[in-house]
Chain A
Amino acid sequence: MSLKRTRDTDERPAALDADSIIKDARRELAAPMRRLFGKRILTLGSLALLSGCELKDDSSVNTMLKRISFFNDDVQGWLFDPRKLAPTYPESMITRPFPFNAFYDIDDVPTVDPAGYRLKISGLVRGKRLWTLPELHALPQTSQVTRHICIEGWSAIGKWGGTPFSSFLKYAGADLGAKYVAFQCADEYSTSIDMPTALHPQTLLTFTYDGALLPPKYGFPMKLRMPTKLGYKNPKHIVEIIVTNTYPGGYWENQGYNWFGGA
């Protein structure tokens, strides 16, 4: 910092006034500080410019965020304990009415003809590849009351009944060492999950809701119910299950939702 110098040195003060020197110094300090403060405010303002912008506006930022999201998949896979159970609730705590939720309106729920329906299972499987509804309903059934957690933040408790997905994969002769299980749905929805979650004891291939046949709005003829994952990872109206080692993505995942989506 440079102090102001007085050119005419004719009059030398006999003694330095400490107080006024400090005062002057303070005034000198204040000016650049105000400018700096203004600059800092501008920097905050430029950060604020990021607000409301779409991800696709900046591909390098987009790439960085996507990379961290894949890293978060690994973290969640590592955190996932295959023996840890999601909490279950008494039937008195079921949310009524259980909310309908999809990427379309309730009027656009697909209608699936039960008689002509066949569940296709493809990819790394050695067993039966086409299943009728009576064949699926004949599998050992169980039910559980669990919390559905939506990525939006709300949650609701519901009761789903069906067959443990791990048993179904074994009946179908699926390669349980494969990395992914992917789902194609009658409403053009798709998603995919990791094998450890597919084999989790609470992961059910469900055919009923609250003791009655799964209604269309909740995913007739079947929904994969996983209380260890967020709602969008639980596909409804499933028509095809693919066991694969190739990353399959999904409807929301391809738009930016985190792939693992664990709870």
Chain B
Amino acid sequence: MPQITLHPAWLRLTHWVNAVSVLVMIGSGWQVYNASPIFPALRFPAAITLGGWLGGALLWHFAFMWLLVGNFVLYLGLNLATGRLCRKMLPLTPRSLFLDFYAALRGKLAHDNLSHYNAVQKFAYLAVILDIVVLVLSGLAVWKSVQFPLLRELMGGFDTARVVHFFAMTFLVMFFIVHVAMVMLVPRSLLAMIRGH
């Protein structure tokens, strides 16, 4: 049986590096959030945070941000350069998205063909790429609000940039939950992301 490589090595590598950096960024980010919650009713249990205290969490956050961004640039750059992004994610029409989403709601949407993404998958993967861009830019606005005035104003000021950062994180977490649930339904996709086929 000929083996078709579904995911090239660079894609698998950047996927897993991204997975690790995203987990570290979220865990440490939750600890940082707890120091001054945007929503007083919402605090993250210490057991699911990283860093132990605010100072420790910030060390993790400001270390792994380099890995996240560096890896993301590599991922996006190779995806664009090889034409994989266009090949895999396009075309994506509102009609196909609507039909596939409706089918998904009725439990009739197939997502077990690893070489082809349905419209909902295409949308989710493109959305999470965009979400990481928003996360990085809002994070940069929070970290360096004085040095990047244009970015700060684009995010609606320092305080609003924090809120944008929070909701971009929320979207990423929701994506993560759905993504892992889908992988559990089609375990073959996990193997494909590890060994390529």
Interface residues of A (CB under 8 A from B): 25, 29-30, 33-34, 36-37, 40, 44, 47-48, 50-55, 64-66, 68-69, 72, 76, 79-81, 84, 86-87, 147, 149-155, 227-228, 252, 255-258, 262-263
Contact = CB atoms under 8 A, between A and B. Distances in A.
Contacts of A227: 146
A50 B60 CA distance: 11
Interface stretch (B29-37, B78-86, B99-107): B29-37
A34 B55 CA distance: 39
Contact of B144 (A55, A79, A87, A154): A79
Contacts of B46: 52
A84 B153 CA distance: 15
A157 to B, nearest CB: 10
Given A64-B63, A262-B147, A55 B52 contact: yes
Given A33-B187, A36-B194, A256-B55, 7 more contacts: A29-B191, A33-B188, A51-B27, A51-B48, A52-B47, A151-B58, A255-B55
Interface of chain B, helix or strand or loop or mixed? helix
B158 interface: yes
B147 A149 contact: no
B74 interface: no
Interface residues of B, number: 42
Top 8 nearest A-B pairs by Cβ distance?
Answer: A256-B55, A152-B35, A152-B36, A153-B36, A65-B59, A68-B63, A54-B52, A55-B56
B20 interface: yes
Given A50-B50, A51-B49, A54-B52, A153 B59 contact: no
A227 B53 CA distance: 25
Interface string B134-161: 0000000010111101000000001100
A51 B158 CA distance: 28
Contact of B146 (A50, A52, A68, A262): A262
